[in-house]
Amino acid sequence: MSQNLGRIQRKEMLLAYALLLPSLVFLAAFTYWPIVRSIWFSLNDVLLGDPDIFWLGAENYLRLLNDRLFWKVLGNTAFYTFTSVPLSIAAALLLAVALDSKLRGMAFYRSAFFYPVMIPSVAAGMVWVFLYAPGYGPINEALTGLGLPRLDWLYDSKWALPAIVIMSIWKYSGYFMLILLAALKLVPSDLYEAARLDGVSAFDRLVHITIPMISPTLYFVIIIGTLHSYQIFDYVYVMTQGGPADSTNVLTFYIYQNGFQYQDIGYASALANALLIFVLGLIGLVSLTLGRRVHYLGER
């Protein structure tokens, strides 16, 4: 009997591995192997297309620590992540709360805020290059109309990165808004009724009821937003090529420059590992600070 059971279990086990095999082959080849390899590459002198590899040890990493451009690029990456993610999520939260209040024309608003997600990053980047154009761009025309000074936007090393942040808010808020909207629908409305009867202000209701109630989703959105912030490569490539004066050069783009333009795979791999550490550190930080404070209410 138990022998029979063992055979069934073994059959189930073999079937399970067979079902996982197709995924595992591709995951191994294009997710895990590249990580292992990039650690190996970073310890060597590797040139693109050159079969000769020379052991360097930690040299690429020492070079990285002394590379002033690396620190600047890391700063830019951090600036982009720490502004674009919180700002687009804050905008998304306000939009979601507004739309959740039984506003008429919901379908129109939802689509109006969500459609940028459907637009390819290259197209989005291109349109915003036009919108930001210093001489004839509509944004500067609007600023003049409002009596404000015109800016050089993507041509100004102070404003180029913030300009990309503004574009990101337009591009991603709608997506986060939809996810938050789904969570808001699950908040019991009698909570709000009770708070309203007690004379709690709209702002306090947001801070003390809405945000705690949807905190698991908010947490999820922060993680998704952080992962999405990689996509800044597309915008930098299309809009600025890292300029002016490397003010929009970010880690993904710097890896590309070193690996593809200078063909220095070893150093680029060290940079790629730095990026992975940066992102993992960020996600670790988020889950340690916010993840612990997330309230899981009710069974879903």
Partner 1 sequence: MALDTPLSPEMTAAPPVARRSNWRRALKGQWLHVIMLPLSLLWLCPLIWIAVTSLKTSAEVFDPAAGFFPATPKFSNYPSTLSVAPFGKYLVNSIIVTSSILAGQLVTITLAAYAFARLNFPGKNLLFTLFLLQVMFPIYAIFLTNFVTLREMGLVNTIPAMIVPFVASGYGTFMLRQSFRQVPSELSDAARLDGCNHLEILWHVYLPLVKPTLLAFAIISVVTHWNDYMWPLLVTNSEAIRTLPIGLGLLAKADSGADWPRLMAGTTIVVSPLLILFVIFQRRFIDSFMHTGVK
191 binds partner 1 (CB under 8 A): no
Name which position in 7, 62, 65, 130 contacts partner 1 (CB under 8 A). Answer: 130
Decide: is 298 part of the binding site for partner 1 (CB under 8 A). Answer: no
Distance in Å, CB of 264 to partner 1, minimum: 11
Contact letters (x/-) for partner 1, 210-249, by CB under 8 A?
A: -------x--xx--x--x--xx-xx--xx-----------
- Of the candidate residues 55, 136, 203, 296, the single one contacting partner 1 (CB under 8 A): 136
Q: Is residue 54 a contact point for partner 1 (CB under 8 A)?
A: no
Q: How far is the CB of 49 from partner 1 (least distance, A)?
A: 8
Task: Say whether residue 101 binds partner 1 (CB under 8 A).
Answer: yes
Q: How far is CA 232 from CA 40, 46, 171, in A?
A: 27, 27, 11
Among 57, 68, 120, 146, binds partner 1 (CB under 8 A): 120
Q: Least distance in Å: CB of 75 to partner 1?
A: 19
Q: Does 285 bind partner 1 (CB under 8 A)?
A: no
CB of 60 to partner 1, least distance (A): 13
- Residue 106 makes contact with partner 1 by CB under 8 A: yes
Asked whether position 203 contacts partner 1 by CB under 8 A, the answer is no
**From the list 90, 127, 148, 207, which residue makes contact with partner 1 (rule: CB under 8 A)?**
127
Q: How far apart are CA 267 and CA 201, in angstroms?
A: 55
12 binds partner 1 (CB under 8 A): yes
